[in-house]
Structure 1
Amino acid sequence: MSLPELNQLPVNQLKEALVTCCGSMVWVNEMARIFPVESKDSLFEQAEISWFSLNESDWREAFDHHPKIGDINSLREKFANTSAWASGEQSGVSTASQQVLEDLSEGNRLYEAKFGYIFIVCATGKSADEMLEILNSRLPNSPEDEILIAMQEQNKITKIRLEKLLVS
């Protein structure tokens, strides 16, 4: 969709489009209030400003809208509205060895047990091996440090999804 088309959407449809980019309803509602926007750059800038103004519970809500890295069943069942984007973002997982997939699954389990939310990484352009390496490097982080890293990764994902929204 083009930016003029996005600007013309009724509020409920605009919110439906925005939630495919970021699952935080506070973010979606804040973003819906800024429309119409003048340019893609102003949209991306406001998306980031809004994201960084949120609190941890808002960030966690956005994280809940993601499938676990490498979890194909999760992609299919839970995230039908973003599954095409998520599977494309995680395309590096499709060629992974069984061992790497098992290691990702176990790493996800350990990560979620430690931090209370799924492992969030901007997976675009990364192989499964790279994602596993990133996951393992972040497991020792403190919860205070990790939430900020995950939040930054979500910000990257949101920008990529906004870009995809504007070309879909």
Structure 2
Amino acid sequence: MLRPCLDVPRWCNEVAAARPFTTPGELLSFAELAAPDFTQAEIDAALAHHPRIGDRAAGTGTEASFSRSEQASVSGLDGIQDRLQAGNRAYEDRFGRVFLIRAAGRTAEEILAVLEERLQNTDAEELPVIAAQLRDIAILRLEGLLNA
């Protein structure tokens, strides 16, 4: 249940080991604080499962389904789509990894603005931002599973 939310084994193990939770809120609160400092290797491994912003996730698994739903606001917007693709390439050239953002609840224009802003970060500034985005996505996905 946890891996499609965030494929960081240390995080999954910490959350699973803390069971049982008495309420969904308790689970979400614990999950938000588990494994507080993701390593660069954990971040890179988790990012391997995330498609580029604007790309449709392949596959039929839970993680792909989550991703397609989360990125619904950025599909089919041709003018923005081209700019997002160019921004994705610039980000990958700059940082050597896919650009990750919690897309759910954001417009394509907001995502593009954040992408352009984050391109100005140093490597040291960007890693904690990615970790925070991974955590935000994990919590949203866990909420989705709990409400299903």
TM-score normalised by length of structure 2: 0.90
Tell me by how many angstroms 1:57 deviates: 1.6
After TM superposition, the structure 1 = structure 2 runs for residues 18-33 of structure 1, keeping only pairs within 5 Å, are 18-33=2-17
Q: Give the AA of the match of 1:162.
A: L
Q: Hey, what's the Cα distance between the residues in 1 that align with 2:27 and 2:12? A: 12
Query: Is residue 2:79 matched to residue 1:91?
Result: no
Task: State the identity as a percent.
Answer: 31
**Counterpart among 89, 112, 120 of residue 140 in structure 1:** 120
Q: Give the AA of the match of 1:54.
A: F
> Is the Cα–Cα contact under 8 Å of residues 75 and 81 in structure 2 kept in the other structure?
no
Q: Give the AA of the match of 2:75.
A: S
Tell me by how many angstroms 1:95 deviates: 4.0
Unpaired runs of 5+ residues, structure 2, are none
Could you tell me which residue of structure 1 aligns to residue 62 of structure 2? Answer: 81
Query: Is residue 2:14 matched to residue 1:34?
Result: no
Query: Structure 1 stretch 100-109 or stretch 157-166: which is displaced more?
Result: 100-109
Deviations 1:123-154 (A, max 9, x none): 11111121111101110110110111111111
Q: Give the AA of the match of 2:131.
A: M
> Is the Cα–Cα contact under 8 Å of residues 22 and 28 in structure 1 kept in the other structure?
yes
Q: Give the AA of the match of 2:17.
A: R
Q: Hey, what's the Cα distance between the residues in 2 that align with 1:59 and 1:37? A: 26
After TM superposition, the structure 1 = structure 2 runs for residues 101-116 of structure 1, keeping only pairs within 5 Å, are 101-116=81-96
Deviations 1:61-95 (A, max 9, x none): 222221111012xx024x73312221111111124
Question: Which stretches of structure 1, 4 residues or longer, exceed 6 Å deviation after superposition?
Answer: none
Tell me by how many angstroms 1:38 deviates: 1.7
Q: Hey, what's the Cα distance between the residues in 2 that align with 1:55 and 1:35? A: 24
Q: Hey, what's the Cα distance between the residues in 2 that align with 1:54 and 1:151? A: 6
SS at match of 1:129: helix
TM-score normalised by length of structure 1: 0.81
Deviations 1:35-77 (A, max 9, x none): 22222222112212214143222122222221111012xx024
SS at match of 1:28: helix
Q: Report the count of equivalent residues.
A: 148
Unpaired runs of 5+ residues, structure 1, are 1-16
SS at match of 1:18: coil
> Is the Cα–Cα contact under 8 Å of residues 23 and 64 in structure 1 kept in the other structure?
no
Q: Which has the higher helix share?
A: 1
> Is the Cα–Cα contact under 8 Å of residues 90 and 124 in structure 1 kept in the other structure?
yes
> Is the Cα–Cα contact under 8 Å of residues 111 and 118 in structure 1 kept in the other structure?
yes
Could you tell me which residue of structure 2 aligns to residue 3 of structure 1? Answer: none
Could you tell me which residue of structure 2 aligns to residue 123 of structure 1? Answer: 103
